Structures are given as C-alpha cells and as structure tokens.
Amino acid sequence: MKEFKGNEAIGEVVASLPKAAEIFKEYKIDFCCGGNRILSSVAAEENIPLEKLLEELMAAQQQLETMVTEEKDFNTMGYGQLIDYIVSTHHAYLVRELPKLRDLIGKILRVHGQQHPELSRIHKLFHNLETELEQHMIKEEEILFPLAKAYEAKPAQRLLMEIYRVNAELEEEHEGAGDILKALRALTNNYMPPADGCGSYVLTYKGLEALEWDLFQHIHLENNILFPRLAEESLI
C-alpha cells in the first residue's frame, strides 16, 4: 500500500488520492494554487498535527485499495478526455452558478450593506473573480485546449512551445483567483453568515463556499495534472 510520509507535495497527494481533496478541505488547506507546497510544511504552518493528517490520508488510501471504485483516474486520461471533463463539469458549473451568485451578492448588499460594510468588499472581489474566470475560460477553450488536442492528435514542437507560453499565463491567473478566494473566506468569516442574515444571506455564503470547493478541484486538475503532463512532453 502506498504510504504518505509528509515529504510529498500536496498537489501530488490529491493527484494520486482524490479523496485527499476532501480531507484537505476539512483542514482548509489550499491544494490547487498551493499544490507545490510540502505536506509537512503546510501542517506546521497551519498548526495541524502531521501524524493525524497522515493517518487520515492512509485510511483513505486503504479504503481506495480495498474497495471497488468508480473514481476517475485523471492521471491516465488522454488530453482530450481530461479537457472535455474539465469543460463539461467545471466550466459548465461556472457558467451556471456565477450569474446566480452575482445576483445574490447584489441583493444582500442592497439589503444588508449598511449594517455589514464588508459586503461592499465582497461584492467587488466577486466581480473581479467573475471577470477573471470568464476571461480565463475563454482563453482555455479557444486557445489552450484546442492546442493540447491538436498536439495529442499530431505532436509537433511548435504546438508545445505555444502550449508552454499559454500555460504560464494561465498558472499566473490561477494564483490570482486563489488570492481572491482566500480574501473572500476571510471576509465571510469562513462563510459563516451573521446572526441577522436573511435566507438570501445564508444562500449566498453557501454558494460562495461551493464555488470555492469547485474551483479548488478545477484548478487542481489543471495545475497539478494537465499542465505538468504537458510540460513533461518536452522530455519525451
């Protein structure tokens, strides 16, 4: 059975053990944009007992190895298959949920903004995040993903060079989105609505937390699986 010792990068842990994403979520560990951080260092920084974290990861690994699972193996998917999954699952989620959250945030700002001035900052941050994500999806669907599929169909060095250039831009954009998510979590008190929050307030914070979780999985698939695999093509 695979063992975790604490010297692994957290992105690699999630890539090999998808269940780890849920464990990291419970500890509020960012495994997507900070995927290159070492597990033991993260535990120390976040005051998380490393032994307890390793025990939970090992239990999840044992469960994975002793049961029949339908878990998708993203590491062995072809580029086209992985890209289609990202678009149909995570891009589709953003297209569906971002407008709903935009309306909800605007609504609670109008109703509760005077009593809760942090909502103005939340409104601005969400607007910036939405704009970045929309531009990001266009760049992926119109430039990077077609390049990756073309390379898979007919490998060529010129395609790789363009893929590397676009990848560098996208990874930087992922960092920006990660920073906004951290700020939103802080401003919302870990997505805990205030005592005087109405139903829309509660729904908004639940929606923001769900957005964060989906983006963590989304960015993980790109930063820790798709982009590194494309980068390794130059070594083949």
Domain assignment present for residue 190? The answer is yes
* Residues with Cβ within 8 Å of residue 134, at least 6 apart in sequence: 94, 98
Burial 117-140 (b: 16+ CB within 10 A, else e): eebeebbebbeebbeebeebbeeb
Both 160 and 193 in one domain: the answer is yes
**Residue 137 pLDDT greater than 90, yes or no:** yes
The residue type found at 53 is: L
Per the structure, the complete domain to which residue 58 belongs is given by 10-66
pLDDT score of 151 = 93
Mean pLDDT of 96-121: 94
Domain final position from 66, 89, 113:
66
3-state secondary structure of 38: strand
Both 131 and 57 in one domain: the answer is no
CA distance 9 to 31: 9
Tally of domains within the chain: 2
Both 54 and 105 in one domain: the answer is no
Domain assignment present for residue 203? The answer is yes
Residue 8 gets which letter from DSSP? S
Domain assignment present for residue 2? The answer is no
pLDDT score of 66 = 55
* Residues with Cβ within 8 Å of residue 196, at least 6 apart in sequence: 112, 115
Both 125 and 221 in one domain: the answer is yes
pLDDT tens digits, one per residue of 193-213: 898 888 888 889 989 998 998
Q: Which residue has the tokens 């989304």?
A: 218
Both 50 and 141 in one domain: the answer is no
Residue 9 gets which letter from DSSP? B
Mean pLDDT of 70-94: 88
Q: How many residues does the chain have?
A: 236
Both 128 and 208 in one domain: the answer is yes
pTM of the model: 0.73
Top-ranked range on mean pLDDT: pick from 41-45, 61-65, 78-82? 78-82
**Residue 218 pLDDT greater than 70, yes or no:** yes
Cβ atoms 74, 221 nearer than 8 A:
yes
